[in-house]
Structure 1
Amino acid sequence: MFGMKFFFYSLEHLPIHIHVRNAEGEAKFEVEPIVRLVSSYGIKTKDLVLAEALVEQHKELIITKWQYFYGNH
C-alpha cells in the first residue's frame, strides 16, 4: 500500500504494534491504547505521517490479525 509493507515479526511482544517498511527504511507503531510512532529510521516524515494515518484507519484489523496470530494476551 503506497509502497509500504505493514507486517508483524514472528516472535513479537506486547504491546500490540506493527512494523512498516518502505524502500527508504522502517518504522514501528504501537496500536494500543493509541496509535503512536515508537521508532523509525530512514523513512521520510511525509511517509511516516501517511503510515500513521493508515495504521489508525486499519487499527481494528491490525488488532484482530494480532490476536489471531498471537492469541489474546
Structure 2
Amino acid sequence: MADYYRGAIEKGLRDYATSIGKTFPDQLYKDLAWFRLQGTKAWSEMYADLVYREKEQDRIKNSINNFNKTGTNECQ
C-alpha cells in the first residue's frame, strides 16, 4: 500500500514542479515521498537489511536537508 501512495506522491510532486516551470532529479521526488513516511511502518521496514535501511534513511534525510538549504523550495 505504501508503494502506491509513494508513487502517487512522487507523481503529484513532479506534476506540480512541472506546472511552475521547475524540474528536479527523479530521485528527489522519491526522497520527498519517503521523507513524509518517517515514523510509519513503511519507513521503519523499508528494507530488510538493517545496515542498508539506515544508510538509505540517512541519505534521504540528507537529500531533503540539502534541498531545503538550496533556497529552491517554492513553498516557503
- Range class of TM-score, shorter chain: 0.3 to 0.5
Between Structure 1 and Structure 2, the one with more strand by share is: 1
Higher relative contact order (CA 8 A, sep 6+): 2
Larger Rg: 2
Normalised TM-score (structure 2)? 0.34
The structure richer in helix per residue is 2
TM-score, normalisation: structure 1: 0.34
